[in-house]
C-alpha cells in the first residue's frame, strides 16, 4: 500500500483519527494524504445583480467577512498541526484542500487511493447527526476504494476479527484487507461466524483455510450461536484492540436502507476501527 487518504473537516481536526492514520501509515510505510474538506457552497448567498442589458442571480462568498476569515485561520492552523504531527511520527504526508462539495470531492479523491480513513461523525451540517453521519453514509456507499472507520480512541491493534457469513462478499473483503495489510500476517486472526446453530456452516472451510494459512500465521475459527445481526455486536462490545473487517454487504445494502444495517449499528456502538469494502 502506498497512498492513504484521511478525510478531515478543515475546521475541526480529529486528533484520534489522525493518531490512528499515522499508526496505519507507519505499519504499512505508506504516504498519508490529509484531505482538508471545506463546504464553500454552504457559504454562498444568492444575490441579484444587473448589467445594462441583463439581470441575473449570483452566489458570491463573502471572503472579507469575519466568519470566513476565522474559518480560513482555523483551517490553516489545522494544516500546520497535521504536518507537524506527521513529522513527529515519521510519516510522509501531503495536503489536499477540497473547497467545493465535500462528498463528491472525497469520492473523486478515493478513485486514486489505496485506502480512505473517515471519522464516522464527520458532518458539514449545523446540527449533530450521530454516527454514522449522512456524510459518512454517502462516502461508505460511493467510495471507490476500501474505507476504514476510524476508532473513537486508539491505542493499538492486537487482533484482526473477520465477520464471516460464508458469502462471496465476505471472502472479497478479507482478500482486499489482506492484500492491503500484509504487515498484519503475524497478528491473531479470528474468523467469526454467528448463526442459529452455533456450528461452523461453511462447507468450503478446507479451501478457505488453505488460503488463510498462506497469508496468516495464527488463524482462529469461532462459531457463535445467536442472531447474526446482534451476535457480532455482543462479541465485539466486550473487547478492545481489534481491527474489524466487514464484507457481508455490497453497494445495494447501503443504497436501499429501510432499517439500520448491521454495519451502521456496529459503527455507532463499538469503538474499534472497521474496514469496509464493496463487492
Residue 11 · residue 116 · CB < 8 Å:
no
The arithmetic mean of pLDDT across residues 260-265, rounded, is 70
> pTM of the full predicted structure?
0.86
Tell me the three cell numbers of residue 85: 504531527
Task: Say if residue 58 is exposed, middle or buried (CB neighbours under 10 Å; 0-12, 13-18, 19+).
Answer: exposed
* Domain residue spans of the chain: 3-40+69-149, 159-276
In this structure, the strands spanning 188-195 and 159-163 are: parallel
Confidence check: pLDDT of 255 > 60: no
The arithmetic mean of pLDDT across residues 191-201, rounded, is 84
Element (H, E) at 136: helix 134-142
Tell me the three cell numbers of residue 261: 444495517
pLDDT tens digits, 72-114: 899 999 999 999 999 999 999 999 998 878 999 999 999 999 9
58 CB-near residues (< 8 Å, 6+ apart)? 46, 47, 48, 49
Indicate the SS3 state at residue 198.
coil
Instruction: Classify residue 121 by its DSSP letter.
Output: T
> Looking at the domain that runs over 3-40+69-149, which CATH code has it been given?
3.40.50.620
* Closest to 136 (Cα-Cα) out of 176, 162, 112, 102: 102
Q: Is the fold of 3-40+69-149 the same as that of 159-276? A: yes
Report pLDDT for 249. 40
Mention the CATH class of domain 159-276: alpha beta
Handedness of CA 45, 66, 129, 24 (dihedral sign): positive
User: Strands, DSSP E only, in 10-132?
Assistant: 31-37, 47-51, 54-58, 93-98, 115-118
In this structure, the strands spanning 54-58 and 47-51 are: antiparallel
pLDDT tens digits, 118-175: 999 888 876 677 778 889 989 998 999 999 999 988 988 999 999 888 888 889 999 9
Report pLDDT for 127. 67
Backbone angles phi, psi at 2, to 5 degrees: -120, -35
Indicate the SS3 state at residue 3.
strand
Backbone angles phi, psi at 99, to 5 degrees: -110, 10
Tell me the pLDDT band of 260, cut-offs 50, 70 and 90.
low
- In order of 5, 44, 75, 80, 161, the CA distances from 10 in angstroms are 14, 17, 5, 12, 32
Confidence check: pLDDT of 275 > 50: yes
Amino acid at each position: 500500500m502506498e497512498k492513504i487518504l484521511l478525510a478531515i473537516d478543515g475546521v475541526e481536526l480529529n486528533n484520534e483519527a489522525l493518531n490512528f492514520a499515522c499508526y496505519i501509515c507507519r505499519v504499512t510505510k505508506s504516504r498519508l494524504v490529509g484531505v482538508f474538506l471545506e463546504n464553500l457552497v454552504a457559504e454562498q448567498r444568492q444575490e441579484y445583480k444587473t448589467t445594462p442589458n441583463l439581470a441575473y442571480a449570483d452566489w458570491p462568498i463573502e471572503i472579507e467577512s469575519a466568519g470566513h476569515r476565522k474559518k480560513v485561520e482555523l483551517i490553516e492552523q489545522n494544516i500546520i498541526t497535521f504536518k507537524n504531527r506527521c513529522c513527529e511520527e515519521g510519516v510522509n504526508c501531503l495536503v489536499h484542500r477540497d473547497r467545493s462539495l465535500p462528498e463528491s470531492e472525497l469520492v473523486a479523491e478515493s478513485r486514486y487511493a489505496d485506502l480512505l480513513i473517515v471519522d464516522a461523525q464527520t458532518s458539514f451540517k449545523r446540527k449533530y447527526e450521530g454516527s454514522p453521519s449522512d456524510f459518512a453514509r454517502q462516502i461508505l456507499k460511493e467510495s471507490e476504494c476500501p474505507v476504514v472507520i476510524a476508532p473513537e480512541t486508539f491505542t493499538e491493534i492486537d487482533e484482526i476479527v473477520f465477520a464471516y457469513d460464508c458469502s462471496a462478499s465476505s471472502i472479497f473483503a478479507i482478500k482486499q484487507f489482506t492484500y492491503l495489510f500484509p504487515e498484519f500476517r503475524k497478528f491473531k486472526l479470528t474468523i467469526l461466524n454467528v448463526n442459529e446453530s452455533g456450528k461452523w456452516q461453511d462447507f468450503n472451510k478446507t479451501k478457505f483455510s488453505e488460503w488463510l494459512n498462506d497469508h496468516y500465521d495464527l488463524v482462529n475459527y469461532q462459531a457463535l450461536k445467536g442472531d447474526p445481526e446482534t451476535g457480532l455486536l455482543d462479541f465485539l462490545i466486550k473487547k478492545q484492540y481489534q481491527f474489524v473487517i466487514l464484507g457481508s454487504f455490497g453497494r445495494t445494502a447501503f443504497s436501499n436502507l429501510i432499517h439500520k444495517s448491521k454495519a451502521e449499528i456496529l459503527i455507532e456502538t463499538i469503538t474499534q476501527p472497521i474496514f469496509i469494502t464493496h463487492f
